[in-house]
Amino acid sequence: MASPNYDPDKSAPFFDCYRKDFLDYLEVELHRSPATILSYGKDLRYFSEYLRKQGIGSLSEITLPLLKDYIQYLSAKKRYKPRSLAHTIATFKTFFDFLVLEEILTENPAKRLAQPRIPHNLPRYLDQPEVEQLIESVDDGSMRGKRDRAILATMFYSGLRLAETVALQMDDVSLEEGTLEVQHGKGDKYRVVPIHPKLQAILRDYLDHIRPDTSSPYFFPGVRGHQLGKSTVRLIVYRAAKTSELHKSISPHVLRHSIASRLAQVDDVDILDISKFLGHSRLSTTKIYLHADLKHLREAIERLPVLWAPPLRPMAR
């Protein structure tokens, strides 16, 4: 799978043949998603260009100090943030593991590369009234407006990622059983999501009166029945955010954060259930929503009127 804007004249030829074999391995044997393969390919393409500039001509010259120098170069010169650096390091470890597996190398030079400390920023999210305000701000006087409302409602109530939303197919949705299947989630994982009663009514109306009469397999078909573009959905969210006058930065992922944070506030909802609902591979990813709920609770407590406070005592000198 070739990367966009790939220029072989800027890369190291000896490295690129291994790079291509590795990407084929990800696609054919590990069945990684196109997005995952593309991101790995981009990391390795940039590294290949760096190798050529440094005059590196063989795998034996790729050592731990060289990899550390490259990570430092990305941080200082390319202004990579910790999360992007961590992704590059993960790419290196997987790539060189592949070369060891193929007996091209005897040792992984990236094995002892340390991951940077990644700050755990609390996710941005909307509360329930804000979500409703966002969805209802879309003009439902046209078929396209009604479709856009259905897309926004699906992303919120089902917690779907952007890629999962545009990839959703007719066979994935069963309104009778009240379930929605994600065939290829992040990491190519499959999961089943229960459909909220409100969303069930929205999708029934969408299928009966709004969805074009087309043989397209996609639940939300784009032009000529093709898969709806991610940029189209981003634009739908952007326009809704602007019309709603919420004065917040809202992206498709904010809707996913919003339902996760809402579930974290509901009594008797186990964090494992939330993790399965979102399709998280690690529980630690889900736990951040518990912290977001704690922040929300702290802000609410701080807004309470002060009924009594002990008198301030002078500090001892």
Average per-residue pLDDT for the chain: 87
Separation between Cα atoms, residue 170 and residue 218, nearest integer Å? 6
pLDDT for 309 beyond 60? no
Looking at the chain, the whole-number percentage of residues with pLDDT higher than 90 is: 64
pLDDT band at 80 (very low <50, low <70, confident <90, very high): very high
pLDDT for 278 beyond 50? yes
Taking residues 170-197, report their average pLDDT.
Answer: 91
Element (H, E) at 133: helix 128-136
Separation between Cα atoms, residue 259 and residue 255, nearest integer Å? 7
pLDDT band at 88 (very low <50, low <70, confident <90, very high): very high
Taking residues 123-136, report their average pLDDT.
Answer: 90
Taking residues 61-66, report their average pLDDT.
Answer: 97
Separation between Cα atoms, residue 168 and residue 171, nearest integer Å? 9
| Residue pLDDT, tens place only, 192-225 | 999 999 999 999 999 999 999 999 999 999 989 9
Of 59, 131, 146, 124, nearest in space to 96 by CA: 59
pLDDT band at 1 (very low <50, low <70, confident <90, very high): very low
Two tokens, residue 96 = 């060189």
User: What pLDDT shows up at residue 311?
Assistant: 59
> HEC string of 86-120?
HHHHHHHHHHHHHHHHCCCCCCCCCCCCCCCCCCC
Separation between Cα atoms, residue 173 and residue 168, nearest integer Å? 8
Start-to-end Cα distance in the chain: 71
Candidates 1.10.443.10, 1.10.10.10, 3.30.300.10, 3.30.1950.10; CATH matching 128-303: 1.10.443.10
Query: Rounded to whole angstroms, what are the CA distances from 113 to 63, 92, 103, 282?
Result: 11, 9, 21, 22
Domain limits, CATH 1.10.150.130, in the chain: 15-102
User: What pLDDT shows up at residue 281?
Assistant: 76
Phi, psi dihedral angles at 119 (to 5 degrees): -65, 135
Taking residues 73-86, report their average pLDDT.
Answer: 95
Phi, psi dihedral angles at 314 (to 5 degrees): -65, 140
User: What pLDDT shows up at residue 300?
Assistant: 52
Which numeric CATH code is attached to 15-102? 1.10.150.130
User: What pLDDT shows up at residue 291?
Assistant: 61
Looking at the chain, the whole-number percentage of residues with pLDDT higher than 70 is: 86
pLDDT band at 317 (very low <50, low <70, confident <90, very high): low
Two tokens, residue 152 = 């926004």
Taking residues 59-81, report their average pLDDT.
Answer: 96
Q: What is the DSSP letter of 210?
A: I
Taking residues 57-80, report their average pLDDT.
Answer: 96
| Residue pLDDT, tens place only, 67-77 | 999 999 999 99
Domain limits, CATH 1.10.443.10, in the chain: 128-303
User: What pLDDT shows up at residue 26?
Assistant: 94
Two tokens, residue 126 = 């909307």
| Residue pLDDT, tens place only, 34-53 | 888 999 999 999 999 999 99
Of 2, 263, 33, nearest in space to 128 by CA: 263
Helix axes 252-264 and 283-302, enclosed angle (nearest 10): 70
User: What pLDDT shows up at residue 280?
Assistant: 80
Element (H, E) at 294: helix 283-302
Two tokens, residue 60 = 């034996």
| Residue pLDDT, tens place only, 5-39 | 544 456 678 999 999 999 999 999 988 888 889 99
